[in-house]
Amino acid sequence: MDITLLGTGSPLPSPDRAGPATLLRTGTATLLFDCGRGVVMRLAAAGVLPLGLSAVLLTHLHSDHISDLNDIVTTHWVMSPVPTPLRVVGPPGTQGVVDAVLAMLALDQKYRLAHHATLEAAPVIEVTEVEPGDALEIAGAHIAVHRTDHRPVTPTVGYRVEQDGVVAAVAGDTVPCPELDEMCGGADLYVQTVIRADLVQNIPNLRLQDILTYHSTLEQAALTATRARVGTLVLTHYVPPMQPGDVEEWRALAAAHFAGPIVLGDDLTTVSITKP
């Protein structure tokens, strides 16, 4: 199982970090979690085109996590040699988002259908709205849906993915909660979005400081990993954007609370999990 941090950014624009997106590849499944700005470019850099995705799984419907869903939809559609459904999984409300994306793209689709003889139908999107407690089988991977806590954004979910005895827990924006601990329990790898509370608190912007109430800090993510006996902690969605040369400083804050391997990196950082 390979995990690639396609986008490690946040709503704060960064020239070096695309929006939140994580790619998980098993022997049979290629899963995209969230699709922030620049996701198709990062997918291409990782050697995957939207047509190669088994599914897109959304953790929640905040704009920075879905802003380039439209690019996934259009690129998947235009590059498909024959009509091929795109599977999108997400919490309640996902169907409405997909319907709105298709409505936004209606004129584009009209133009392309009129011009390309080999395009005979509009995109087909198969939406599955999920609740905590649901389970899915996608391309040989078993996926369990768990509640996370990003209130007042609700519902939000995380995903526990298992195949051939390897387990990855992928969370979106959330604060620690019992359901998150359950999702991560004994996982080989845990992906968590994080903020640096000490830095955010020093920024004189009340709107930015509001994020402290509904995102995991580095320390909180590390404590979750320790409680859940996680193998490797993978951190992403850095707020504020992690600057060159600051990786070890960020790592030390998490390492004070988690003794295992901690991965922080630029976009396209990849972690591989293997078991005998």
pLDDT in tens, 153-163: 999 999 999 99
Query: Average pLDDT over the chain, rounded to whole?
Result: 96
Count of structural domains, the chain? 1
| CATH code, domain carrying 136 | 3.60.15.10
Q: How confident is the model at residue 274 (pLDDT cuts 50, 70, 90)?
A: confident
- Which of 2, 34, 64, 99 is an active site residue? 64
User: pLDDT value at position 230?
Assistant: 98
Domain assignment of residue 213, given as a range: 2-272
Can you tell me the mean pLDDT for 203-214?
Answer: 84
Instruction: List CB contacts of 4: < 8 A, sequence separation 6 or more.
Output: 22, 23, 24, 25, 46, 268, 269, 270, 271
- The side-by-side arrangement of strands in the sheet containing 232-239 is 135-138, 141-147, 157-163, 166-170, 189-195, 232-239, 262-263
The more confidently predicted of residues 212 and 9 is 9
pLDDT band, residue 247 (cuts 50/70/90) = very high
Write out pLDDT tens, residues 70-120: 999 999 999 999 989 999 999 999 999 999 999 999 999 999 999 998 888
Place of tokens 């929640």: 60
Q: Is 64 marked active-site? A: yes
